[in-house]
Amino acid sequence: MAALRTAVPVLALLGLCLGPAAAATPLVIWHGMGDSCCNPVSMGYIQKLVEKRIPGIYVLSLKIGSTLIQDMENSFFMNANAQVREVCSQLATDPHLRGGYNAMGFSQGGQFLRAVAQRCPAPPMLNLISIGGQHQGRVYGFPRCPGESSHLCDWIRKTLDLGAYTKAVQEHLVQAEYWHDPLKEEDYRKNSIFLADINQERGINETYKKNLMALKKFVMVKFLNDTMVDPPISEWFGFYKSGQAKETIPLQETLLYKEDRLGLQEMDRAGKLVFLGVKGDHLHFSEEWFDSTILPFLQ
């Protein structure tokens, strides 16, 4: 009893010294093409899942526009650079994010959040998780769209085939801005207004490199049975070998990596790059996989 009576005030004192438990790192989510911030079967589901697994976490699921319909439409028709500027403004004015945040992008949201990391270092992005993001772009196998957006995909596919690198299409069609045709590399480098810029295809922006290298972890998830992204290795920052559209090469064999234009080689050597594979088609994964594989990067 004497030992117990002595221990009680010591424990109380320790409690006073330790204070409350540290708050969970906030999370920012960016949805993919044809989706919205709060769709209950996609981003809304993910947000609730994270909030359930990490009590007290602040989750911001990005909405581009004043309504959910605008948010969905903007994923097709609002210039990607303008979207990134809008998101940078949202993050800079959110008091919950001042101390830093983790970011998780789905499909095109993955490369858009990488642009945020490179262009907008305040507040600081700590970890970037790209789930099916196409960091070297995509070509040919344009994805199916969810639900009522399917007719838009048919029209967009035809438009891209006709003139992905024309000024009018580049300025007004989001998917053209990360369209990467390995048979038209010069057109891509000269005319891509988004992907060629963030991938340092026209010169080295040292600020982009410095900001990306500040990440603690850059996690890239590739869907091993992906039928919607061509080539799927773009989800791991690989792409077709230049000048043809059959043989692919991993990130480590690209000039982007060998010349270390984005700092990815140095990040790789420091253990900051994480390459994850999951069985299934594009954005198809189980709750169990998400819990065991993705949640540890958020805690």
**Spatial CB neighbours of 155, under 8 Å, sequence gap ≥ 6:** none
Active-site residue 282, yes or no?
yes
Active-site residue 226, yes or no?
yes
Q: Which two tokens stand for residue 286?
A: 């189980």
Instruction: Output the CA–CA distances (angstroms, integers) from residue 9 to 20, 109, 213, 297, in the order listed.
Output: 18, 51, 47, 37
| Cα-Cα-Cα-Cα dihedral sign, residues 233, 234, 240, 245 | positive
Nearest to 116 by CA among 105, 158, 297: 105
**Spatial CB neighbours of 229, under 8 Å, sequence gap ≥ 6:** 132, 134, 138, 141, 143, 223, 235, 282
**Spatial CB neighbours of 19, under 8 Å, sequence gap ≥ 6:** none
Active-site residue 230, yes or no?
no
Instruction: Output the CA–CA distances (angstroms, integers) from residue 293 to 52, 140, 286, in the order listed.
Output: 16, 30, 11
Q: Which of 35, 71, 197, 226 is catalytic?
A: 226
Q: How far apart are CA 290 and CA 84, in angstroms?
A: 26
Q: How far apart are CA 137 and CA 160, in angstroms?
A: 13
Q: Which of 31, 135, 180, 282 is catalytic?
A: 282
DSSP label of 31? -
Q: Which of 36, 61, 107, 234 is catalytic?
A: 107
Task: Give the residue numbers annotated as catalytic, written as ranges.
Answer: 107, 226, 282
